[in-house]
């Protein structure tokens, strides 16, 4: 199974351990039947005999009760992770597509043939082409980049949905913060399989930005 969740596995492990501990505590502290002493020795003797005869069955019931509690917890935990059938192949990529939507992308010199096509439209088409070229097991996240970096989707392999997300991107009036964009992409890809960052931009960055964006993977 594949669990597409942004929560780190270590955090999920701590949560699972804590929930399991609470389950055990709840089982230990569950309400037990109260004992009453009665003056009828014959009746008391029968109760003792029945208790001895059913001791093994009671132990089994307690064990089954605990197992059922753990099973219920496991089902809730797995459902919360939103599992999908089938594991991803080893070569499957996890891609963050950074689409530059800064002020410079409003320029209408994006058509190599001289037409008045905004750069942002050329960038969006290249992003759509990238999505169309992805393998069936690849997943991608779309991020919009200007002064802020905004994730527009989660990691997904649904190409039509990703294309629609790209269609709605519009250029803003702020310059791009390249360092912040690459940092956000790196955070999203942490612990992901075959991570890849694709930046689609006009390259209108200062030399200082390009130098500051260098980081170790």
pLDDT value of position 150: 95
- Which residue positions in the chain have pLDDT lower than 70? 1-61, 77-87, 114, 212-217
SS3 152: coil
- In the chain, where the domains are located: 9-80, 94-212
For the chain, give the number of residues: 217
* Pairwise CA distance, residues 186 & 211, whole Å: 17
Q: How many CB atoms lie within 10 A of CB 164?
A: 12
Pairing of strands 195-200, 149-151: unpaired
Cα–Cα dist 148/178, whole Å: 9
Model pLDDT, residue 170:
96
User: Architecture of domain 94-212 in CATH?
Assistant: 3-Layer(aba) Sandwich (3.40)
Opening angle at CA 148, ends 146 and 152, nearest 5: 90
CA distances from 48 to 41, 80, 107, 186, 213 (A): 10, 46, 91, 67, 78
Predicted local confidence at residue 136, as pLDDT: 86
Interval 64-111: pLDDT, tens: 777 777 777 777 766 666 555 456 788 899 999 999 999 999 998 877
Q: Are 96 and 197 in contact (CB under 8 A)?
A: yes
CB 84 within 8 A of CB 152: no
């Amino acid at each position: 199974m594949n669990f597409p969740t942004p929560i780190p596995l270590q955090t999920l492990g701590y949560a699972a351990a804590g929930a399991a501990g609470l389950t055990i505590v709840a089982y230990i502290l569950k309400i037990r039947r109260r004992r009453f002493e009665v003056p009828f020795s014959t009746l008391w003797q029968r109760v003792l005999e029945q208790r001895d005869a059913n001791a093994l069955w009671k132990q089994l019931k307690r064990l089954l009760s605990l197992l059922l509690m753990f099973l219920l917890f496991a089902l809730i935990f797995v459902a919360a992770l939103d599992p999908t059938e089938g594991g991803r192949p080893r070569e499957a990529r996890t891609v963050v597509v950074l689409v530059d939507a800064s002020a410079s992308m409003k320029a209408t010199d994006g058509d190599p043939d001289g037409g008045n096509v905004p750069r942002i439209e050329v960038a969006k088409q290249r992003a759509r082409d990238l999505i169309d070229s992805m393998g069936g097991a690849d997943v991608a996240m779309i991020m919009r980049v200007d002064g802020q970096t905004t994730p527009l989707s989660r990691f997904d392999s649904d190409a039509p949905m990703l294309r629609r997300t790209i269609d709605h991107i519009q250029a803003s009036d702020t310059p791009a913060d390249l360092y912040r964009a690459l940092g956000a992409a790196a955070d999203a890809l942490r612990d992901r399989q075959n991570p890849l960052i694709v930046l689609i931009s006009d390259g209108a960055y200062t030399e200082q930005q390009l130098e500051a964006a260098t980081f170790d993977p």
